[in-house]
Amino acid sequence: MRHPIDSDHWLYRKSPEDWLADARVELRRGVDLVDRRDADKCLPRLRAAVHCAFNAMLASRETLDERKGASALARLRRIAASDEFDAATRARALWLIEARRFGEGEYVLRSAGEWHLLREAAIALVEFAAERCEP
């Protein structure tokens, strides 16, 4: 049985479907920014997309581990370190963690291939969470 909407709860203020819709909006925005090579804005959007998607997965479950409601970056760190996820999922989370800024808006992304990996990592993590939402 799914938890009812609760406007006072950090997770249950939205339905899993609403969290996934938000994730897909953030993902579209992030992918567009990756395609335009806008480093200052793409990484936060892609991380937010993954965060919303994993909120959808949590909101669809009957029980909730309250510790899982951390920031997007903290959640990515937990995914990267957890045996709960397969190696490919952990690697994608690590990619989104390590693509961080140095100095004023400079990212560690040097080649088109790295931009592609960043985009694909976010897409795969959002879909991973969406597939695991319980009905």
Our count of domains for the chain comes to 1
Range in 3-12, 24-33, 49-58, 111-120 with the lowest mean pLDDT: 111-120
Q: What is the pLDDT of residue 104?
A: 45
Do the Cβ atoms of 97 and 71 come closer than 8 Å?
no
Residue 129 has pLDDT above 50, yes or no: yes
Is residue 3 domain-resident?
no
**Which residues span the domain enclosing 24?**
16-131
Is residue 80 domain-resident?
yes
Is residue 4 domain-resident?
no
Is residue 39 domain-resident?
yes
Nearest 5°: CA angle at 96, between 54 and 21?
35
Report how far residue 34's alpha carbon sits from residue 7's, in angstroms, rounded to the nearest whole number.
Answer: 33
**Regarding predicted confidence, which is higher, 58 or 30?**
30
Do the Cβ atoms of 118 and 95 come closer than 8 Å?
yes
CATH number, domain of 27, equals 1.20.120.330
Phi first, then psi: what are they for 73, rounded to 5°?
A: -70, -40
Q: Per-residue pLDDT tens for 77-113? A: 888 998 988 898 889 888 888 776 544 454 555 566 7
Residue 62 has pLDDT above 90, yes or no: no
Is residue 88 domain-resident?
yes
